[in-house]
Amino acid sequence: MSESSDCIFCKIARGEIPSVKVYEDEHTLTFMDVRPASPGHALVISKAHAANLLEMTEVDLQAVTLTVQRVARAVQKALAPDGIRISQFNGAAAGQTVFHYHVHVIPVQEGQHTGSHGRSSADPQQLALLAAQIRAALGS
């Protein structure tokens, strides 16, 4: 696993920075976005550092994609949104703010107008509750 010593997502994957974890396996980690675009907004990252899609290995890209699908299904089951936005950005001009490959899983309700990034920090207890609901749906 390649890592970057300065990358915030690498630090989260190593456990150096706390996160509200939803799912973890050998290649991926899913955690709640601390500035969610909507309740239940989760991020799926590769544990191997790559700045964006163009730098990902096929193995890591496949692992992230499978985890995104698994997490999206659990979000659907746990939170029953009207839709789920799956988004990923490559480069600052495209809206990428953390330069470690990651995919947003954002539950959306009909009529809800959200961006891909939230503006304010979420309540940590609310994040923990939502993560527990999604984890329970992953297990069932």
Catalytic residues: 102
E strands in 14-116: 21-24, 28-32, 42-46, 83-87, 102-108
Query: What is the Cα Rg of the chain in Å?
Result: 14
Kindly report the CA angle at 98 between 93 and 102, in degrees rounded to 5?
100
* Residue given tokens 């456990």 in the structure block: 15
Tokens linked to 107: 């539950």
Confirm if 140 and 72 have CB atoms less than 8 A apart: no
